[in-house]
Structure 1
């Protein structure tokens, strides 16, 4: 993952003020961290699930006890509403307890038929790989990390976190939480490094695998580096999720969920619905309800309890969204609400609905990472599926219909890692999470997620 060194700094998205800066770790400190990771792995891998689970439950308790403080730190660094940040901390605590209680079962030996293979005993056995480099984004600065770390450490691996350069205080707080929960030295460490140092860490023999949530370009870079080094990777690279509405749907409920999904995390969520594909027979009623709900969203101080949408996390992110909307408008699209930045310090952009998107517009093929919805009218089920699948991404998909036959068809026909029917796409520790096509490969969460960074060893006994 090449590129120029990026400043490691907390910058308030609400004001643009630089709050705190950090120097990148020098080479000798990176080497020392990798040595600690190997030492931590030698300890963690030999402990029982019960022992690791006690630390993981202690971590959950710390998250619950310090929820408000941790949430305020996330809001300060990346601008999500305080209510959303508190919910994120609570979700992380739940995931810790989930894996503390279920990992032994997820990684239990899997017996085979010994007679079929000419053995007295035969089974598959899961073992951890070692230190795993986690390259994580800023949009869910706690949850993105924890959904990797909880299963990986419960499996006996250790974590090396290279977090996004605009959330360094959250990254350091995570390392502190793991230490205070009782995990041994080297079990979880934050590396304050820029993207220019990723290749040096990933190719080091002490690092055994990597996981990345981020942009398609970052995923290609990390996959190429890891491929040359023959190291396992899991990639989640974003999405441009369809939200299909058919005539039988509950249109008021669909419009409510559509607005909530599009504005979740200030519009900066990979699995938020982004392209709203509506059958012509339902289009007018849905569009009116949807635009009304988007227009009613409160844009304001992310610390305030009545705020629905805060600022975008970075100035470049706001610029990207503005340019995508401007491109659509210049090529004939209609902006039904929003579309103009407010005149105030910080990186604000209002909830926006753009109709009449056509293939030559950037919004047709690009992910829009802000509270901007593309609205599409289609004339049939087949056209809806064609538009939904006309994207290089395949992370999540959402369809609204009460017709059982259509529901079955959508599950079969939508090209995505997840399909949610008549409800908002989200992630749960109980369900596998990941995508297809350019949204990446591998799975996080559930039993599938904890097995990604394990060696599945065949055991045959005469």
Structure 2
């Protein structure tokens, strides 16, 4: 059983606190590793290392920083299978699925880093009087990245690219539920000491990192409640924050689409990664004209999502990350059934070891049930039948969350109307479409702060203007 350490200033070291936590494999319920519980002293050491390394890192030419990052990406790519196996051990994701997301994360990291080569870090504008105005984009300094447990490696890579390429240094605090793969990612680092640092633990590490006076930006992905605390703490000391929080993503299925093919796509969007994706399809509004055929096909598709250990190539649906998350999922289903919802498939905790929950389809749900109002983060597909596309669109936009949305329609007018959904990303006829160049900002309780493409560099830098008057003759 491995005991994890912090990575600070290019060196692996034990926590300053003796508090340790067990890491449990959610498929077997066996303890597979131990890691620090976290402490302010750990955070201080990591931030000090980041602060010390930042000036030298920022002084490198942009092309040299990008070269370092591309070299690291190449090393990570060589270990994608190993990292996927570690994600499987710590949070249950099937290995093949994990590898595909890790490979996507590596590609996104490369694209984001290379964006620095054309980003306008310095722009000079001539004045009519012979003066010059230069706009410089300075790095912020030492920054913090706090990531969730559902995509450990891709989420770290997604945040690091622009921050590092812009000249910042970073302290990463991964979720205490999935630190194993992130620790291995840092073992593979080819960056200079102190440019990236890792502190492990729960809120005992997260809170002091957010509150640290030398941190200039906090990039946080997690729950709404935790995000509110991060926003309050960073706002109180005038520190920037990027917050990607909860989601309750709607799907609107219009009349005229193929109900069977669309149901298969919605099943994937609802059940992949056992529903543990911020943009999982969690509210499904289907037009009454195709509702019967759609639901039948959705139930049939759900039956193909077989439960099992992610190391088994036959497994489609791994376990939920832990017993607490499974309890949340089952509580949402139980609440819906008690209020009149009908379970069409699934809906019960299997009698087996591991934190498994089956792909579940619910009908006869309404917008007052927990499964329609709170983030479930599990393999649940609740279906509401609507009388028109317009009704589906209106109900899709009625949530306090506004992270993503998906619309299936063959009607061009309806597709145009879908652009008005108040979401950071709206997919039309293809869930998760688009590449790493996409730009978005969550709305409502799903967070704040634009990310993606050049917006990520805008967030990672501070603009300053230098005005030079003409030299007197």
- Superposition TM-score tier, normalisation by shorter sequence: over 0.9
Change (3 A) 1:373 1:131: same
Counterpart mapping for 1:354-433 below 5 A: 354-412=362-420, 414-425=421-432, 428-433=435-440
Whole-Å separation in 2 of the counterparts to 1:216 and 1:320:
15
**Residue 102 of structure 1: aligned partner:** 115
CA offset digits 1:12-55 (Å, max 9, x no partner): 00011111112334444432222111111111111112111111
Secondary structure of residue in 2 paired with 1:85: helix
Q: CA deviation at 1:204?
A: 2.3
Q: CA deviation at 1:295?
A: 1.6
**Residue 11 of structure 2: aligned partner:** none
Change (3 A) 1:119 1:421: farther
Secondary structure of residue in 1 paired with 2:378: coil
Q: CA deviation at 1:221?
A: 0.6
Whole-Å separation in 2 of the counterparts to 1:114 and 1:283:
64
**Residue 227 of structure 1: aligned partner:** 235
1:155 aligns with 2:163: no
For normalisation by structure 2, the TM-score amounts to: 0.92
**Residue 38 of structure 1: aligned partner:** 51
Whole-Å separation in 2 of the counterparts to 1:321 and 1:459:
55
**Residue 333 of structure 2: aligned partner:** 325
Secondary structure of residue in 1 paired with 2:284: strand
Q: CA deviation at 1:366?
A: 0.8
Whole-Å separation in 1 of the counterparts to 2:256 and 2:26:
41
**Residue 138 of structure 1: aligned partner:** 149
**Residue 454 of structure 1: aligned partner:** 461
Which 10-residue stretch deviates more, 88-97 or 338-347? 88-97
Counterpart mapping for 1:122-271 below 5 A: 122-178=133-189, 181=190, 183-271=191-279
Flag the structure with higher helix content: 1
**Residue 436 of structure 1: aligned partner:** 443
CA offset digits 1:247-296 (Å, max 9, x no partner): 12232321111111111211100112111111111211211111111122
1:86 aligns with 2:99: yes
Which 10-residue stretch deviates more, 76-85 or 89-98? 89-98
Whole-Å separation in 1 of the counterparts to 2:433 and 2:277:
10
Q: CA deviation at 1:382?
A: 2.3
Change (3 A) 1:296 1:25: closer
**Residue 285 of structure 2: aligned partner:** 277
Number of equivalenced pairs: 452
Q: CA deviation at 1:79?
A: 0.4
Change (3 A) 1:38 1:108: closer
CA offset digits 1:119-147 (Å, max 9, x no partner): 62224321110111111100000111111
Whole-Å separation in 2 of the counterparts to 1:114 and 1:288:
68
Counterpart contact for 2:282–2:372, Cα < 8 Å: no
Equivalent of 2:90, from 73, 77, 84? 77
**Residue 343 of structure 2: aligned partner:** 335
| Two-structure CA RMSD over aligned residues (Å) | 1.8
Counterpart contact for 1:213–1:237, Cα < 8 Å: yes
For normalisation by structure 1, the TM-score amounts to: 0.94
**Residue 62 of structure 2: aligned partner:** 49
**Residue 10 of structure 1: aligned partner:** 23
Gaps of 5+ in 1: none
Secondary structure of residue in 2 paired with 1:142: helix
Change (3 A) 1:7 1:222: farther
Change (3 A) 1:348 1:426: farther
Which 10-residue stretch deviates more, 243-252 or 210-219? 243-252
Q: CA deviation at 1:461?
A: 2.4
Q: CA deviation at 1:201?
A: 2.5
Which 10-residue stretch deviates more, 342-351 or 426-435? 426-435
Gaps of 5+ in 2: 1-17
Counterpart contact for 1:119–1:460, Cα < 8 Å: no
Secondary structure of residue in 2 paired with 1:452: helix
Q: CA deviation at 1:113?
A: 6.7
